Structure 1
Amino acid sequence: MNWDMLEPILIIISIDIILGGDNAIVIALASRNLPKHQRNKAIFLGTGLAIAARILLTAVALYLLQIPYLQLVGGLFLFYIAMQLLTDNDDNQDIHGGDNLMTAVKTIVLADIVMGFDNVLAIAGASHNNIVLVVFGLLISVPIIIWGSRFILLLMDKFPLLIYFGAGLLAYTAAEMMIEDHSVSYLIMDYPEVKVWMPVLSVVAVTFTGYFVNKRKERT
């Protein structure tokens, strides 16, 4: 496997892990009222359906991003998501536990679809229109999220720089999405240095802006 294939897979996995911690909490909350012998069934069934739904939504996103200017708009929105990741500290989710298997599964799938929009958009941008990379990256990262979520969240609490890494990764992906929009790539085709420096400057801008916003919040 060459670097052109490995790079988007690593980015997809990283995006899923950074943005997917809350999804694991939803799974735990949605299945907490079930009998013990049904909890694993709810987790596996709900997660499997959620993966299928996310692959379908990402495939739709890949198709839509071929429309002129949508990659540009998607990139701008991804910048917004990156800033929200850095500056939004309200992670409380109003998730009610289901008292039967199908209710819990439905809650897991619906919550994943609603909460996973940022993942879908980011993954669509990182995959460079390759649905195989999307599927491969999700199949690797989702089990990590489910079984390692508490460890991941603990690391994020202990090492806040991981959040900045995730936001920087989103900013990098957002810049690449905007550059790959046909209307933008046509304008900068004579300036190859823009393609090199725009993602780098985007990472710096988002992470430093988020840092100063957080410091200002702490002071006030």
Structure 2
Amino acid sequence: MEAELLQYAWVLLVLVGLEGLLAADNAVVMAVMVKHLPKDQQKKALFYGLLGAFVFRFAALFMITLLVNIWQIQALGAAYLLFISIKSIYDQRKGDSDESLDEEKAPKKGSGFWMTVLKVELADIAFAIDSMLAAVALAVTLPHLPVFGIDDIGGINAGQFTVMLAGGLMGVIIMRFAAHKFVQLLEKYPQLETAAFVIVGWVGVKLLVMTLSHDKVGVLPHDFPHSTPWTLTFWTVLMGIVVVGGLVSVRKNKKENA
């Protein structure tokens, strides 16, 4: 029993770290999506976004059998993240080009409050899918344990369900503090917005890889998304985007303030 509890403690620790990283990505999306709003509306939009993140992660946990078995859900999540990434980067580049051609042109108006909230919630759904799929990949390796005499919850072993729930809750708590910090960071270094949307697209690629490796799609081997080469590739590229984006933003900020 002690050995099993140690396994649970270790997986929970790893899961909290993983969910924290995924939550940071989610927080980046919320930050860049609400930054065009007035300060008071930013806080409200972030609140709704955090509430949605909690609700969708909780719902995804109970719907995990659907998320695992229906590849179209994973594909939709990947498609949405890739869409907002590509569209946002294109709009930024187009806006920069337009400004260089016509400096007197009025800046493009951002989405209204409720449309912004809707976009944030849709992104939350995609990240919730990614979060729970990652949690399942870790939790299914654990031995089956009952919790308060309950063997299964939502078709998942109660012990495994509890670990996934705890990891998801910790992720939302981390997101709560990260989102506000990212908004402040984007105000100081607006160039980080491009790097943020590149990260969103890269997470979309991760979901796409999961879709292509689904048993009913079979383009990639089933175990490929959890293999060491792909895991190292994903996190190396992700950290590379963060480092390069940060260095470019700091350099541009210094040049503008010189």
TM-score, normalised with respect to structure 1: 0.51
Match status 1:122 vs 2:122: no
TM-score, normalised with respect to structure 2: 0.44
Identify the residue that residue 63 of structure 2 maps to in structure 1: 60
Identify the residue that residue 184 of structure 1 maps to in structure 2: none
Match status 1:143 vs 2:156: no
**Do the aligned residues in 1 keep the contact of 2:49 with 2:121 (CA within 8 Å)?**
yes
Identify the residue that residue 117 of structure 2 maps to in structure 1: 105
Alignment size in residue pairs: 152
Q: In structure 2, do the counterparts of structure 1 residues 134 and 38 end up closer, same or farther at CA, with 3 Å as the change threshold?
A: same
- Unaligned 5+ segments in structure 1 are 82-90, 154-169, 175-197, 214-220
Identify the residue that residue 256 of structure 2 maps to in structure 1: none
**Do the aligned residues in 2 keep the contact of 1:31 with 1:98 (CA within 8 Å)?**
no
Task: Give the alignment of 1:1-220 within 5 angstroms.
Answer: 2-62=5-65, 94=88, 98-100=111-113, 102-128=114-140, 129=156, 130-148=160-178, 202-203=227-228, 205-206=229-230
For 1:120, give the aligned amino acid: M
Secondary structure of the residue aligned to 2:88 is: coil
TM-superposed CA distance for 1:20, in Å, is 3.4
TM-superposed CA distance for 1:62, in Å, is 4.2
For 1:141, give the aligned amino acid: G
**Do the aligned residues in 1 keep the contact of 2:60 with 2:67 (CA within 8 Å)?**
no
Secondary structure of the residue aligned to 1:94 is: helix
TM-superposed CA distance for 1:108, in Å, is 1.1
TM-superposed CA distance for 1:17, in Å, is 2.5
Q: In structure 2, do the counterparts of structure 1 residues 131 and 98 end up closer, same or farther at CA, with 3 Å as the change threshold?
A: farther
Identical columns (%): 26
TM-superposed CA distance for 1:43, in Å, is 0.9
What is the alpha-carbon distance in structure 1 between the residues aligned to residue 39 and residue 235 of structure 2?
43
For 1:10, give the aligned amino acid: L
What is the alpha-carbon distance in structure 2 between the residues aligned to residue 64 and residue 111 of structure 1?
16
Secondary structure of the residue aligned to 1:33 is: coil
RMSD: 4.5
Instruction: After superposition, give the CA deviation of every residue in 1:53-86 in whole Å (9 maximum; x if it has no partner).
Output: 1221232114665xxxx6xx9xxx9xxx9xxxxx
What is the alpha-carbon distance in structure 2 between the residues aligned to residue 112 and residue 133 of structure 1?
21
